[in-house]
Amino acid sequence: MARARSAARARLAALWRRGTDFLGTEVAIMGGAMSWVSERHLVSAISNAGGFGVIACGAMTPALLEAEIAATKALTTKPFGVNLITMHPELDALIRVTLAAGVGHVVLAGGIPPGPAVRAVKERAKLVCFAPALVLARRLVRSGADAIVIEGSEAGGHIGPVSLTVLAQEILPHVKEVPIFVAGGLGRGEAILSYLEMGAAGAQLGTRFAASAESIAHPNFKQAFVRAAARDAVPSVQLDARFPVIPVRGLANAGTKRFLEHQAVTLRRFQAGELTREEAQLSIEHFWAGALRRAVIEGDVEEGSVMAGQSVGMVAEVQPVATIIEELVEQALAALMARQAA
């Protein structure tokens, strides 16, 4: 038994060594950057447990980000990263603050990163980018990305149209130049193992960590995760193609129903000439303003935006981050040992 376990550990270490070497961690498990959730407490907990925490900058100002990085460093001496949104109006200043603080990994999300941002990051840190398709993965590698995250539509929050199962088959066999981390719908170690065996360097998880003991999310928010089934995490619905809705996956609640009603009313007002196209679009886009904070911080899980991936069905209880990571590793090891015994 001890020999089989040792062999399984060696195999798992070999499978994600490219990821652990890149991140500087014990396990190649990244924390997804979740607004209002991925702050100093959760980020440091993930890093201290052997994984790789990532601060979600979101709409922070450079001063706020600088303070958050300093506060995270006060809680961990382990590596962690910072996720920056490419559309942020102060992106250049955020990059300067991040690099000046000595953060070794920068994740640029929310679109193709501009050339100046890529060059600035690569002067002093490793650059991680998101790729929703093979052609974009190849383009990002040519542009200078040091690692890629491929995130399937099973994920929570803003999502693309393609599942991780398909993205992995499309991208992993063809992009070998840089480490690739898989994300979206991951909740068990056996699933992570399967992608490692396909060529992934590691995995990124968000939903399970959002409901962890160290997450600052309101108890109502966490309990909503515990109660939910996978089918409860649904993407936002667009009623009319003339008024695009960016797909966001979250738990269905009273707020999601009201959003559909709001779109219908707005559409009728536009057709009646009461609103211009621009006014109607803004009305739809502003519906969810502040809704994520209401859910995460204030605990309004009925009217707020309870962003969650389909792996929410695997959140059975609120657990410490270290327990979650240990559980994932043990599940992967058990799968490897079962094969050896077969």
Radius of gyration of the chain (CA): 20
Q: Do 169 and 287 share a structural domain?
A: no
**What confidence score (pLDDT) does residue 339 get?**
86
Q: Do 10 and 108 share a structural domain?
A: yes
Q: Do 143 and 174 share a structural domain?
A: yes
Amino acid at 144: G
Q: Do 241 and 186 share a structural domain?
A: no
Q: Do 99 and 141 share a structural domain?
A: yes
* Distance from C-alpha of 21 to C-alpha of 23, rounded to nearest angstrom: 6
**What confidence score (pLDDT) does residue 2 get?**
86
* Cα dihedral: 219, 225, 226, 232 (round 10): 150
User: Would residue 26 count as lying in a domain?
Assistant: yes
How many domains does the structure of the chain reveal? Answer: 2
User: Would residue 124 count as lying in a domain?
Assistant: yes
Tell me the helices (H) and strands (E) count for the chain, helix number first.
Answer: 15, 11
Q: Do 282 and 213 share a structural domain?
A: no
Q: Do 171 and 114 share a structural domain?
A: yes
SS3 226: helix
Q: Do 295 and 256 share a structural domain?
A: yes
| Whether 91 contacts 115, CB under 8 Å | no
Catalogue the E-assigned strands of the chain.
29-31, 53-56, 80-85, 105-109, 126-130, 147-151, 157-158, 180-183, 202-205, 233-235, 248-251
SS3 48: helix
Q: What is the domain range of residue 280?
A: 229-307
Chain-centre distance for alpha carbon 294: 20
Q: Do 41 and 185 share a structural domain?
A: yes
Q: Phi and psi dihedrals of 149, rounded to 5?
A: -110, 130
SS3 277: helix
User: Would residue 173 count as lying in a domain?
Assistant: yes
- Which residues are within 8 A (CB) of 49 and not within 5 positions of it... i.e. 6 or more apart? 321, 322, 325, 326
Tokens encoding 164: 């991780």
Compute how many other C-beta atoms are within 10 angstroms of the C-beta atom of residue 294: 22
User: Would residue 224 count as lying in a domain?
Assistant: no
pLDDT in tens, 82-134: 999 999 999 999 999 999 999 999 999 998 999 999 999 999 999 999 999 99
User: Would residue 35 count as lying in a domain?
Assistant: yes
**What confidence score (pLDDT) does residue 289 get?**
87
Amino acid at 95: I
Question: How many residues are recorded in the chain?
Answer: 342
Task: Give one DSSP letter per residue of 60-86, joined into a string.
Answer: --HHHHHHHHHHHHTT-SS-EEEEEET
* Distance from C-alpha of 233 to C-alpha of 247, rounded to nearest angstrom: 12
Q: Do 173 and 130 share a structural domain?
A: yes
Give the residue from 122, 131, 139 showing the smallest Cα distance to 200: 131
Task: Provide the CATH number for the domain around residue 165.
Answer: 3.20.20.70
User: Would residue 319 count as lying in a domain?
Assistant: yes
**What confidence score (pLDDT) does residue 237 get?**
93
Q: Do 274 and 201 share a structural domain?
A: no
> How would you class 224 by CB atoms within 10 Å of its CB: exposed for 0-12, middle for 13-18, buried for 19 or more?
buried
User: Would residue 276 count as lying in a domain?
Assistant: yes
**What confidence score (pLDDT) does residue 306 get?**
98
Chain-centre distance for alpha carbon 219: 21
Task: Give one DSSP letter per residue of 75-119, joined into a string.
Answer: T-SS-EEEEEETT-TTHHHHHHHHHHTT--EEEEESSPPPHHHHH
Q: Do 148 and 61 share a structural domain?
A: yes
Q: Which residue stretches of the chain have pLDDT < 70?
A: none
